[in-house]
Amino acid sequence: MYGLALKMLFGDTAKYLMLVAGLFLATFLIVQQTSVFCGLMRWTTSTLKNVGAPIWVVEERVEQVNETNPLRDTDVARVRSVSEVAWAMPVFSGIQRVRMDNGSFKTIQLVGIDSASLAGAPTRILEGTLTDLRLPNAVIVDELAVQRLSQGRPRPLTLGDTFEINDIEARVVGICEAKRSFTGGPYVWTTYERALQYTPPSRKMLSAVIAGPVEGVSVDEAAAAIEKATGLRAFVNRDFGENPKDFNTSTIWWYVRNTGIPVSFGTTVVIGLIVGIAIACQTFYAFVLDNLMHLGALKAMGTSNFRLSLMLVLQAFTVGFIGFGLGLAACAMFAAGAMERGQPPIYIPWIIPVATLGIVLAICTLAALLGIFRLSRFEPAMVFRA
């Protein structure tokens, strides 16, 4: 009986392909747009991942890492004085301009770290040595900087090459791997003192203080102690979760609340959902109508409504799984191309395919229910009248 249901489904090629196409399009739009949104949100927290530190201490009104209010230099000593803190170092983070050899300019994300401890340095050095950052005018650039800052040069940027940041020479002593920033500019590391030289002076220049807890004290306890002792805001550098004291969480929710990014991507997701519902329900209902006499004949021969309903559910779920699989495969191909090009940002956590599968099956269930409702109202005697 169920084999007959599949033969009926595959036998109507036009409607079968239309059903698969509608669910494929819905799956692709939902997965692709939500994945790009998640990737974009991960870009907003790139500085936290590139400057690894358990605790970030910022001005009390700061909510996200890309928009910090400067602190006083004495705030570093205040954080160090907290008994739960093992170490605390200054960090500068800001957008600066680089002059190219051809006279054009490129923006970079300049990061200044403590020259003695090198706390906050990139974790994966591809070329060069981290300790060379202490040399005069030394900087470490990421792979994107090699690509961007090589424009106008006869060869790619490499160790020993120089460029200018605000008309001051910077010499490349290392190339590292880093996450791409939300602003699109490459990351450039230097020492904290040199970063202040590269940056136009202002009354306060300290972006944040990074710190670590003493042994036996958790990062949450240390952060709470810093806030109590200094009046500053201490965030824990932890991946996105439910705790608003996590800097990643606070940063992402800031962009969700204060930008139009969620609305833009959410609109496309809703359109994909509407398209899937409209095409699947309408096409499957038309498919049931076209095969109503055949289903009515089975009903007249004694097949129960429950068995016929299971046949319709099987047909709907079959096209649902096929459309979902094709849509997910297309998203995987898109993601592979995006990763090779480096953009658009894309991140597919496991919850996205699972939730999308649930949505697709819900659409299929709705389509099947429409067919079941129509079939339940069909009288077997109508077969003999026809």
| CB-count exposure of residue 308 (10 Å: 0-12, 13-18, 19+) | buried
pLDDT greater than 60 at residue 383 = no
Higher pLDDT, 34 or 12: 34
pTM listed for this prediction: 0.83
pLDDT greater than 60 at residue 385 = no
- Summarised one tens digit per residue, pLDDT across range 102-145 is 777 888 999 999 999 999 999 899 999 999 999 999 999 999 88
What's the pLDDT at 213? 93
What's the pLDDT at 233? 93
- Summarised one tens digit per residue, pLDDT across range 252-297 is 999 989 888 888 888 888 888 888 888 888 887 777 776 666 666 6
Calculated CA dihedral for residues 368, 370, 373, 376, nearest 10 degrees: -50
CB 177 within 8 A of CB 168: no
What's the pLDDT at 296? 60
CB atoms within 10 A of CB 372: 20
CB 351 within 8 A of CB 37: no
Where would I find the H helices in 169-260?
Answer: 192-198, 219-230, 247-258
Q: How far apart are CA 246 and CA 331, in angstroms?
A: 30
| CB-count exposure of residue 145 (10 Å: 0-12, 13-18, 19+) | buried
Average per-residue pLDDT in the chain? 85
CB atoms within 10 A of CB 111: 25
What's the pLDDT at 354? 93
CB 177 within 8 A of CB 99: no
Q: Where residue 379 falls among pLDDT bands split at 50, 70, 90?
A: low
From residue 165, how far is each of 138, 168, 331 by CA, in Å? Answer: 12, 5, 40
Q: Where residue 240 falls among pLDDT bands split at 50, 70, 90?
A: low
- Summarised one tens digit per residue, pLDDT across range 164-195 is 888 889 999 999 999 888 877 899 999 999 99
What's the pLDDT at 307? 76
CB 313 within 8 A of CB 368: yes
pLDDT greater than 70 at residue 382 = no
